[in-house]
Structure 1
Amino acid sequence: MSCPALIDFEASCLPEYGQSYPIEVAIARIDGESRAWLIRPLEAWRHWDWSEEAEKLHGISPEMLRKEGLPAGQVLEEMARFVGDCEVYADADLDAYWLELLAHGLKAPVPFAVNFLGEYLMRHNFARPQVVAALEAAKLRLPKEHLAREDAKRLALVVKLLLEGQEAE
């Protein structure tokens, strides 16, 4: 089983510091496959906010985006292909917002819905202690935070551990 998929974005600044835009996105499936993309900012975002605090957290600079970032349209297309028929989940509403912002900036439809991970966990009747244990185990294996690929992989691992635990019962 490869689905569901988990998504995580990094952004130009933290929401409390201003108008942010997506700069990196990663998607990880529970089969262990993952992809990450640096997003070259759209011209429309040129005057939006950038914070050094966020840059210190994720380690992505404007220069890095100019040199290594992919065109936003390419990122959106590759994301949609990678997701395929999987349902997509995130641990924060902001991830859905940044996907919408990316699509709208391209005047493209949002390629898939981003659902709240908590709903998935509740629908599968995972108890809080199970979720906490899976999260702690995933953090031990993937301790780096504020890197989209690592964050998405950690969330996918949490779901995988929970599903494996459910099968073992």
Structure 2
Amino acid sequence: MPVVLPTLLDIEASGFGRGSYPIEIGLARPDGSCCAFLIQPLEEWTHWDPKAELLHGISRARLEREGYPVRHVARWLNDELHDIGIAYSDSWGYDNTWMSLLFHHAGMIPAFRLEALRRLLDETQMAMWSDIKESVIEERGIQRHRAGEDARLLQLTFARTQELSARR
């Protein structure tokens, strides 16, 4: 029986903690395709952590040049996720906060729920998650800390852990 892939969402941000905001949102769809949008920072979004930039490699200047307006990204998320109704995140606490900030500033309400990925995992999957994730990174040469790639990495890790868990 083939594994049904959940929709995974990942957000890269300007940093962590107070004042941080989303800079890139990526999705991995049930068919395995993925996409991501850079987000143009609002004028009042001034927090910038150089350590975060070292991780994701996205400069604020690049966001200002290439990012999409907040409302555009929120509309895209609603269009993508309305029918599915749910997406999952491995960092729900952060991602839900940043997603709420995005929708608040867009003046929109999400047409979907964001849930914690761990809700889909059984104990066996949780126990093997880190090792499997590292294997997938190595095998696929995945570039970490970019939202689309990270969402796909989570989805591939989920599929492999589910498959291995079912065999036990």
TM-score (norm 1): 0.84
| Distance (whole Å) between structure 1 residues aligned to residue 166 and residue 119 of structure 2 | 20
Q: Provide the aligned length of Structure 1 versus Structure 2.
A: 163
Larger mean Cα displacement after TM superposition, 125-134 or 63-72: 125-134
* Structure 1 residues 111 and 38: CA distance shift in structure 2, 3 A: same
Report whether the alignment pairs 1:80 with 2:94.
no
1:114, CA displacement in angstroms? 1.1
Segments of structure 2 that go 5 or more residues without pairing to the other structure are: none
Report whether the alignment pairs 1:134 with 2:132.
yes
The answer to whether the 8 Å contact 1:3/1:87 transfers is: no
| Distance (whole Å) between structure 1 residues aligned to residue 107 and residue 44 of structure 2 | 12
Q: Which amino acid counterpart does residue 70 of structure 2 have in structure 1?
A: A
State the match for 1:157 in structure 2: 156
| Distance (whole Å) between structure 2 residues aligned to residue 153 and residue 19 of structure 1 | 27
1:56, CA displacement in angstroms? 1.2
The answer to whether the 8 Å contact 1:27/1:35 transfers is: yes
State the match for 2:118 in structure 1: 118
| Distance (whole Å) between structure 2 residues aligned to residue 12 and residue 131 of structure 1 | 27
| Distance (whole Å) between structure 1 residues aligned to residue 102 and residue 159 of structure 2 | 28
Question: In the TM superposition, what whole-angstrom CA distance separates every residue of 1:109-161 from its partner, at most 9, and x where no partner exists?
Answer: 12321111111113xx6444443453233222244221112211100111222
Q: Percent identity?
A: 34
| Distance (whole Å) between structure 2 residues aligned to residue 148 and residue 27 of structure 1 | 7
1:3, CA displacement in angstroms? 4.3
| Distance (whole Å) between structure 2 residues aligned to residue 14 and residue 133 of structure 1 | 25
The answer to whether the 8 Å contact 1:142/1:154 transfers is: no
Q: Which amino acid counterpart does residue 21 of structure 1 have in structure 2?
A: Y
| Distance (whole Å) between structure 1 residues aligned to residue 103 and residue 49 of structure 2 | 23
1:168, CA displacement in angstroms? 5.7
Q: Which amino acid counterpart does residue 33 of structure 2 have in structure 1?
A: E
* Structure 1 residues 19 and 32: CA distance shift in structure 2, 3 A: same
State the match for 2:14 in structure 1: 12
State the match for 2:43 in structure 1: 43
The answer to whether the 8 Å contact 2:74/2:108 transfers is: no
* Structure 1 residues 59 and 104: CA distance shift in structure 2, 3 A: same
* Structure 1 residues 31 and 109: CA distance shift in structure 2, 3 A: same
State the match for 1:61 in structure 2: 59
